[in-house]
Amino acid sequence: MRNFKAIDKVLIVDDIETNRVVLEEILKDKYETITAEDGIMAMSLLFSGEIKPSIVLLDIMMPGVDGYEVLVKMKENPLTANIPVIFITAADSYSNEKKGLMLGAVDYISKPFNPEIVAARVATHLRLFHYSEKLELLVEEKVGQLMKSKEKMLDTIANIVEYRNFESGSHIKRTKELTRILAGCLSENPLLGRAISPSEVDVMAQAAPLHDIGKISIPDEVLLKPGKLTTEEFDMMKKHTTIGGEMIKLMIYDDDVDEDNAFLSRCYEIALSHHERWDGKGYPRGIAGNAIPLVARILALVDVYDALISPRVYKPAMSHEEAVEIISEGAGTQFDEKIVEAFLMVEDEFKKFATM
């Protein structure tokens, strides 16, 4: 956790040297001061990561890049977006103050400087900044604890499926890791056109084990049948998608859009749609192409791959190479061809799981 007693850094940005010197004199006894003589120099210091100030005192009227533009660029950059900015200006008009506050400045200090006001406002906004930082850390810590509890709960639920279908235990664990690999490849290769953020990769991987949760409702004589299913039995087996989706849907809060709901939404999409096909010939809804949620398209390939390379009571395991050939042939029909392309980029990583 951050040491909140560390000396704060204050970046002073003003094109007039006298103003910089005056502000340094006011603040140097309590803070480490850093100065920049114009907006370009300030952005160079900030965006390079060379310094990480706790607050910025920023002049508005500067040649070249003015204070407004510096503030806009700061808010656009994750490194600097949360750093509080106090404008220092001789301009004393309502329009200037309104514009700055709307862009995200936290306060104004007018020239000529009153030392007591400068010191008081800087101290106030630093207290607010550190309180906000500490609150965010506490929230992150609490969310982390909840996520661990949730993952444990999901592992337990997934194990229920394992106990009912003795061949699915390793399958559940592998699909989680294979989903992470495949989704990670899509995240790292935006030219494939299936954009996934790094945080979404983890959400998808954590959701993957629940893809077959609906099989809890399938009778043993169907779920564990060693031979080929009849048409009626297969129709019953297909219901695990809609039943699984409904089970997860019951956990989603209608009036909430928090992180848990985003996670459960991925679980719902996977459970309901992981047997849909790119060409629309899958089940349960027969949807096609991009109408199938991306996470379900990823899981569809992972699920088939793992089923092909795993032994079943009704078939022997295929080799990795045979599985790759079958999946490649399904590009554009059974599977999203861009996801197959990503799969071929990471097939060596998949192969490690085929030999486990």
Q: How far apart are CA 36 and CA 74, in angstroms?
A: 15
Q: Do 119 and 132 form a contact (C-beta atoms < 8 A)? A: no
Query: Which positions ≥6 away from 343 have C-beta within 8 Å?
Result: 182, 185, 301, 305, 327, 350
Nearest residue to 207 (alpha-carbon basis) of 288, 302, 336: 302
Q: How far apart are CA 343 and CA 186, in angstroms?
A: 9
Fold of 9-135: Rossmann fold (3.40.50)
Nearest residue to 130 (alpha-carbon basis) of 83, 62, 63: 83
Q: Do 209 and 158 form a contact (C-beta atoms < 8 A)? A: yes
Nearest residue to 70 (alpha-carbon basis) of 83, 268, 237: 83
The pair of three-digit structure tokens given for residue 34, joined into one six-digit string:
């850093």
Q: Report whether CATH 3.30.930.10 matches the domain 165-354.
A: no
Give, for all 356 residues of the chain, the pLDDT tens digit: 344 456 899 999 999 999 999 999 999 999 999 999 999 999 999 998 888 899 999 999 899 999 999 999 999 998 899 999 999 887 666 667 778 888 999 999 888 899 999 999 999 999 999 898 888 888 777 766 766 676 676 667 766 766 666 555 577 788 899 999 999 999 999 889 898 988 899 889 988 988 988 988 888 888 888 888 999 999 999 999 999 999 888 877 655 445 567 788 899 999 999 999 999 999 999 999 999 999 999 999 999 999 899 887 677 889 999 999 999 999 999 999 999 999 999 999 999 887 65
The pair of three-digit structure tokens given for residue 277, joined into one six-digit string:
């096909």
pLDDT score recorded for residue 132? 86
Query: Which positions ≥6 away from 348 have C-beta within 8 Å?
Result: none
pLDDT score recorded for residue 344? 97
- Residue reference for tokens 């999203």: 336
Q: DSSP H helical segments within the chain, as ranges? A: 17-27, 39-47, 67-76, 94-103, 115-164, 169-188, 198-207, 220-223, 231-249, 259-273, 294-309, 320-329, 337-345, 347-354
Tell me the three state secondary structure of residue 217.
helix
Torsion of CA 144, 145, 150, 151, to 10 degrees: 70
Query: Beta 32-36 vs 9-13: how paired, if at all?
Result: parallel
pLDDT per residue as tens digits for the range 139-192:
777 766 766 676 676 667 766 766 666 555 577 788 899 999 999 999 999 889
Query: Which positions ≥6 away from 97 have C-beta within 8 Å?
Result: 108
Tell me the three state secondary structure of residue 33.
strand
Count other Cβ atoms within 10 Å, centred on residue 253. 10
Residue 331, strand partner residues? 335
In the chain, where does the domain assigned CATH 3.40.50.2300 lie?
9-135
Q: How far apart are CA 31 and CA 54, in angstroms?
A: 10
The pair of three-digit structure tokens given for residue 61, joined into one six-digit string:
């009227």
pLDDT score recorded for residue 260? 60
Q: How far apart are CA 75 and CA 73, in angstroms?
A: 5
In the chain, where does the domain assigned CATH 1.10.3210.10 lie?
165-354
Q: Do 301 and 182 form a contact (C-beta atoms < 8 A)? A: yes
pLDDT score recorded for residue 91? 60
- Residue reference for tokens 């409904």: 246
Q: What angle do CA 35, 40, 41 make, to 5 degrees?
A: 30
pLDDT score recorded for residue 169? 58
Q: What angle do CA 173, 221, 168 make, to 5 degrees?
A: 5
Give the burial class of 111: count Cβ atoms within 10 A of its Cβ; 0-12 exposed, 13-18 middle, 19 or more buried. middle
Q: How far apart are CA 29 and CA 70, in angstroms?
A: 27
Please tell me the pTM assigned to this model.
0.60
